[in-house]
Amino acid sequence: MFHKEGYKIIFISIISFIVVLLLADKFVHWHWLRITIQLIAIFLFVMILQFFRNPNRRIVPNVNQILAPVDGKVVVIEEVFEEEYFKDKRLQVSIFMSPINVHVTRYAASGTIKYSKYHPGKYLVAWHPKASTENERTTVVIETAQFGEIMYRQIAGALAKRIVNYAEEGQQVTQGDDAGFIKFGSRVDLYLPLGTKVDVVLQQNAVGNQTVIASK
């Protein structure tokens, strides 16, 4: 199962893959070179397919939990000053996605979208300390029943060139539903109220819609 954001790229990749295989078979006379080209084409095609995969992870929403919005590694758990929306201290939990991770963004909790904004920016590597404030990004705030307002921020990485964000202000969203997509490498930051019980540790591999980030 593939995410809808990948349909166009996958279709173009299929056509390109077939063309490369046919051209290599017809015009490349050195056997070793022909095989090398075809293997590279197969590898790139498989990478594109796995990047846009969208595993079916249906859940029963739980108001007492904040779930991982994406797949990846937990790289930050710290108290920070959030200056865009809250303008006070928050607990930041960041998940870094490598190109081989599933890149679907899912709503970490159910609630009402209070704020949704896109910011153009740079393409620093996603783990760079300034990536949260200088890279291309979207910021979304959800008003939840148990945790109050929580924020998540989709951040483009060095390879990511497009962030897709489905959240609209005033919209009612359900935990686990698609919230967007980040194409080719990225990171997602969660900003939680101070004192929130965090259930993950640094360097832990998180799984979107399965790993509990925080709980009441």
Residues 91 and 173 in one domain: yes
CATH number of 189's domain: 2.70.70
57 belongs to a structural domain: no
Q: What is the tens place of the pLDDT at every residue in 58-78?
A: 899 999 999 999 999 999 999
Q: Under 8 Å CB-to-CB from 11, ≥6 apart: which residues?
A: none
pLDDT, averaged across the chain? 88
Residue 56 resides in a domain: no
User: Is 180 found in the same domain as 95?
Assistant: yes
pTM over 0.85: no
Nearest to 40 by CA among 22, 25, 20, 23: 20
> Which residues form the catalytic set?
186
Nearest residue to 156 (alpha-carbon basis) of 179, 181, 173: 181
Both 142 and 107 in one domain: the answer is yes
Query: Residues with Cβ < 8 Å from 183, sequence gap 6 or more?
Result: 5, 103, 160, 161, 162, 163, 164
Q: Are both 158 and 109 inside the same structural domain?
A: yes
Domain that holds residue 88: 65-215
Looking at the structure, tell me whether residues 46 and 76 fall in a common domain: no
| Total domains, the chain | 2
Q: Where are the beta strands (DSSP E) in 55-211?
A: 65-67, 72-82, 88-97, 104-106, 111-119, 137-144, 148-156, 162-165, 172-173, 178-183, 186-192, 197-198, 205-206
In a domain, 204, yes or no: yes
* Structural domain contains residue 116: yes
- Residues 123 and 146 reside in one and the same domain: yes
Task: Indicate if 122 and 167 belong to the same structural domain.
Answer: yes
Residues 199 and 100 in one domain: yes
Q: What is the pLDDT of residues 174-199, one digit of tens each?
A: 999 999 988 766 889 999 999 999 99
pLDDT beyond 80 at 158:
no
Confirm if 171 and 154 have CB atoms less than 8 A apart.
no
Do 145 and 110 touch, CB atoms closer than 8 A?
yes
Task: Work out the pLDDT band at 57, boundaries 50, 70, 90.
Answer: confident
